[in-house]
A and B are shown apart, each in its own frame.
Chain A
Amino acid sequence: MTTASVDGKRTGTNTGQGGRTVQDARSDRSRARRYRHAPPIIAAAGLLLLWHLIVVGFGVPSYIAPSPVQVIRVFVEQGEILWINFWPTLFEAVAGFVLGNSVAVVLAVWFVHNRFAERAFYPIAVFINTIPIIAIAPILVLILGNGFAPKIVIAALICFFPTLVNMVRGLKAVSPQMLELMRVLSASDREILWKIRLQSSLPFLFAALKIASTTCVIGAIVGEWIGSNYGLGSLIIEATYNFRAPLLYATVILGAGLAVAFFVTTTLVERRIVKWKPEAVF
């Protein structure tokens, strides 16, 4: 009897304390969430400040290394020239991304269903991948001319290989037991492809797409270096030759921003599509 009442009392006090503790913990957690981004922001701001102090303190001429303030001023005062050259690069990168990954996915499906095709063409794909992209670019410009085409193809080439390799692995990463189940159900190869293989390859595909989302921008910019008078790549070359260092820095930052935007978009799409746990096999 006494024990019970003591217990009851203790439980009562506990709930009271528990309520307060839960609230405290919650506000602690929301505070932690609010300040989660603080360390990287403070670090970045500190580095910018350091950069500014070095450039100003040592009197570095702006055509060698501009201060952050000068770079920001370019975005405000010469925004138009940046944006005019931004859109072609965006277009080439997206088109190259779509083209390169589509071809890679289709080839991977073909390879998985045809061992002869895989044995014949996989080594060629590896060989093409070993040629530096910067060496292929002039060849493509000679063949495809000066327009969008060579840039798109370069961006596509740079996306192509990681996606091909990952997609072949992903399509093959179906457990033998799953294939036995499909055999017991007398499923056709086409049904196995649509119902099983493509779905189970998605985590592998998105791993490759995340790589491709940043490299396709590199491909487009490299393409623009060689014989082009528009795009972020050509702006980089032009700004370098004219010692317009602030413009050069601003262009580089814009290109990097574009790659980051692609990466974030790919990650968000993946989160929407792949909701299951790929690492576990059931």
Chain B
Amino acid sequence: MTAAAAAAARAETAVAAAISVRELSVRFDADTGGITALERVGFEVPEGGFVTMLGPSGCGKSTLLRAIADLVPIGSGAIHVFGRTPEQARRARDFAFVFQDATLLPWRSAIDNVRLPLEVGQRSGAIELNAEPEALLALVGLEGRENALPHELSGGMRQRVSIARALVYRPRVLLMDEPFGALDEITRDKLNEELLRIWRETGTTIMFVTHSVPEAAFLGQKCLVLSAQPGRVREFVDIGFDEPRTLGMRDTLEFVEVTAYLRRLLEEPR
């Protein structure tokens, strides 16, 4: 091993894991026998990384994301977000969550919805303002629609508002639970490209749940494939396309090979 390679390896280990999950098990209705949603799941997401999560329905991908976000109690094992427990990380506003529905307050304008995180949960100390809410709406391409009420916006626009809201307090991790699942394909493609741009511009670590194979392959540097009942890690696939990724890339042979591989992982029983 050359000195340079050794230095590179040291640098690699020195990079802190943004999310580290070890031997995680989650059970629902534990007192009545119940079902095991996740069993001995373990993986790490490096800081600044983009990891997608793929799996058959009922494999517990949402449960895993919710456990990281302190929305679901952990059975056994451990989760750390920048070395903190999910609860500590939540109170420190280390992460933001983007839901499948935009979850906007219908009586608030777009800009006031983006401001919501700055108005609540202030007990845990001053919250760092990432950017002016106006600038964030511009970042997600909603310049000029600041005062629109949610019912005046399309589904895609509402989801853009919810992404701007998630970014307003400079989270170090963005947890996204099928955020584009309810959108039409054209809007979804556009938002996929914009999400990659936002990721590059902000350097936020992103964990992204989806049930679309092309979306998982296109967005993620790595893809965590889960198997169902109980949810286990099937494989943590390295995708590693060249940056910057473009939509046109999806028609290349290389991309099709990756999606074919991911599909095989989903279909094949272990």
Contacts and interface: CB of A to CB of B under 8 A. Distances in A.
Interface stretch (A57-65, A100-108, A181-189): A181-189
B91 A184 contact: no
B117 interface: yes
A186 B90 contact: yes
A186 B91 contact: yes
Interface residues of A, number: 26
Interface string B76-95: 00000000000000110101
Interface string B102-123: 1111110000000011011101
Contacts of A184: 69-71, 90, 95-97
A280 B121 contact: no
Given A175-B103, A182-B120, A186-B124, A280 B71 contact: no
Contacts of B91: 186
A2 B123 CA distance: 74
B222 interface: no
Interface in B129-185: 149-151, 158
Q: Which of B93, B124, B151 is packed against the most chain A CB atoms within 10 Å?
A: B151
A172 B99 CA distance: 20
Nearest to B117: A185
B230 to A, nearest CB: 23
A281 B107 CA distance: 11
B121 A181 contact: no
A195 B71 contact: no
Contact of A191 (B106, B120, B124): B120
B130 to A, nearest CB: 14
B127 to A, nearest CB: 9
A183 B102 contact: no
B121 A180 contact: no
B44 interface: no
B101 interface: yes
Interface string A161-200: 0000000000000010110111111111001000110011
Contacts of A34: none
Contacts of B101: 175, 177, 281-282
B106 A276 contact: yes
A199 B116 contact: no
B210 to A, nearest CB: 18
B71 A178 contact: no
Interface in B43-101: 69-71, 90-91, 93, 95-97, 99, 101
**Centre residue among B105, B123, B149 by max chain A CB count within 10 A:** B105
Interface of B: 69-71, 90-91, 93, 95-97, 99, 101-107, 116-117, 119-121, 123-124, 149-151, 158
Sorted nearest first, the 10 A-B pairs with minimum C-beta distance are A186-B121, A187-B120, A276-B107, A276-B106, A277-B151, A191-B120, A282-B150, A282-B104, A185-B121, A184-B97
8 contacts: A184-B95, A186-B93, A186-B124, A200-B106, A202-B107, A277-B151, A282-B101, A282-B104
